[in-house]
Amino acid sequence: MVNVLSNISNIMIPLIIFYIVAYGLATKTKVYDDFVRGAKEGFMTVFQIMPTLVGLMVGVGVLRASGFLDFLGRLLSGVTEKIGLCPDIVPVIIIKMFSSSAATGLVLDIFKTYGPDSVTGMITSIMMSCTETVFYTMSVYYMTAKVTKTRWTLGGALLSTLTGVIASIVLGKMM
């Protein structure tokens, strides 16, 4: 069964590409010209969001290198330990809202310290899967779409992140 699924997944992308080309030929659409135009538009989008990405990466790097995140984890340890959350996970929660790749680096540190199969490792793994890079996503999408009033987006995104963290704690302790 696994081999069948593996073979199907290996041929899906070529099949999709073939379908697009065949559809373009059937409808007499210039598929390659459309592809090039889309690539140009994609490049321009990346160029427009690059300052935001660089700013987020630098900010996360400064927070991590300064030791502020570890300080914050220790500061909140009294509260976090009462709800069953290891203080070392607090920096992951905060950084994940800004950058998933930076949070992954912190996750690897947690895995080295506690192990991936520990309760802390399980909570961290689940949390990484069910939370979002709130500020990164909002800044990239809203900047690209030129949206200036985010309305309830931030509140809803932070509420969903809190829900994901709570679910992670509950599910991680059940494992």
**Helix, strand, coil: what percent of the chain each, to 5?**
85, 0, 15
Q: What's at 57, amino acid-wise?
A: M
For 64-83, how does the pLDDT look when each residue is reduced to its tens digit (9 = 90+)? Answer: 889 888 888 888 888 888 88
Instruction: Compute, in degrees rounded to 10, the torsion defined by CA atoms 80, 84, 88, 94.
Output: -60
Domain ranges within the chain, ordered by starting residue: 2-174
pTM: 0.68
- 3 state DSSP class of 11: helix
Rounded distance between C-alpha atoms, residue 95 and residue 161, angstroms: 12
- For residue 29, give Cα distances in angstroms to 24, 32, 37, 75, 97: 5, 9, 13, 61, 42
For 85-127, how does the pLDDT look when each residue is reduced to its tens digit (9 = 90+)? Answer: 888 899 999 889 888 888 888 899 899 999 999 999 999 999 9
